[in-house]
Chains A and B, each alone.
Chain A
């Protein structure tokens, strides 16, 4: 007999509730597989997001048994050894319906943190040469693989305490650009991240670093921003 899995899935908006579904257990089953099976076999009105299924797009993050995770690469076996799965939308974001959240705030904050590259070179110029082992290039390498999944943002208390806090992902992005030697908007960016809602609000709780599925360390990136903005302020260059 095939074993069953109990999946309690959040249905409705922020005032919704968990609904229980029995889902056939399968080898190498991911949490996303479970949600997809419920939608295809039991209730086509279940709303959720995903695209790549291989951990690249960052659209499938949900709260699984009390922790934010990317569901396409989270195996049921690892997070639900007793066959019970609670699946809810990400925290710290308004719920639209079921497992989908409104991520507008999350991405708007990337813009507020000046998360856009601004260069001075034109296409007629040669490639910029950046030594792979330079300090700055290595700082970029350590932080660049963010897929924008929002797991860090949903795990951060400070985001919850002060809703204008830019959050770990946007600040991590700003840090990669602060270390990009081709970028020309340094001062503007430092100003954007030095304010009350910026890097200095972070309490180094480390939930972002602990939960990031890409094993990035936004806490370190934020510490870097704290250093650089403090130095700039002392040199009166902020």
Chain B
């Protein structure tokens, strides 16, 4: 029989949450990528087709989705840089300061994009 898995409480610490965010944002971005290429592929069918699609993306829901993408990208980028630095840089430890920096970067990117949207 498989031994019991670690209890949930043992996972509650910043580095684990950083892992969860990195994994979820990575999956979400990977799912988005085909949609992205599909949209770009519309250009092959002529400028009109792409333009028609781009008009649809003006809708508020799409704007909100776009904003989500920017936040996901920023979070994944920041978290990914932290991992690269831990694994290939001369640093040691869990670098929780970098988790904070990555999170702050994602929030800042989200706010900046939201600001650009409402203006």
Binding site for B on A (CB under 8 A): 14, 63, 65-68, 91-95, 101, 142, 154-157, 160, 163, 203-207, 209-211, 217, 219-220, 223, 226-227, 230
Contacts and interface: CB of A to CB of B under 8 A. Distances in A.
B16 to A, nearest CB: 5
A94 B93 CA distance: 30
Contacts of B2: 163
Given A67-B9, A155-B10, A91 B4 contact: yes
Contacts of A210: 13, 15-16, 94
8 contacts: A91-B10, A101-B3, A156-B6, A160-B5, A206-B15, A207-B11, A210-B16, A226-B88
A91 B5 contact: yes
* Range of interface residues on B (Cβ < 8 Å): 20 to 34
Contacts of A223: 86-87, 92
A66 B10 contact: yes
Contact of B15 (A67, A92, A204, A227): A204
A101 B3 CA distance: 10
A217 B88 contact: no
Contact of A14 (B3, B19, B87): B3
Interface string B67-110: 00000000000000001001110001110000000000000000
Given A207-B6, A227-B87, 9 more contacts: A14-B1, A67-B9, A91-B4, A155-B6, A157-B5, A163-B2, A206-B15, A209-B15, A219-B94
Given A94-B1, A206-B15, A207-B16, A217 B94 contact: yes
Given A206-B94, A217-B93, A94 B3 contact: yes
A93 B1 CA distance: 10
A154 B10 CA distance: 9
A223 B7 CA distance: 25
Contacts of A219: 15, 86, 93-94
A66 B11 CA distance: 10
Mostly helix, strand, loop or mixed at chain A's interface?
A: mixed
Nearest to A67: B10
Interface in B1-30: 1-11, 13, 15-16, 19
B21 to A, nearest CB: 12
Given A204-B83, A209-B93, A91 B7 contact: yes
A225 to B, nearest CB: 10
B3 A66 contact: no
Q: Which 3 A-B pairs have the closest CB atoms?
A: A206-B15, A66-B9, A220-B92
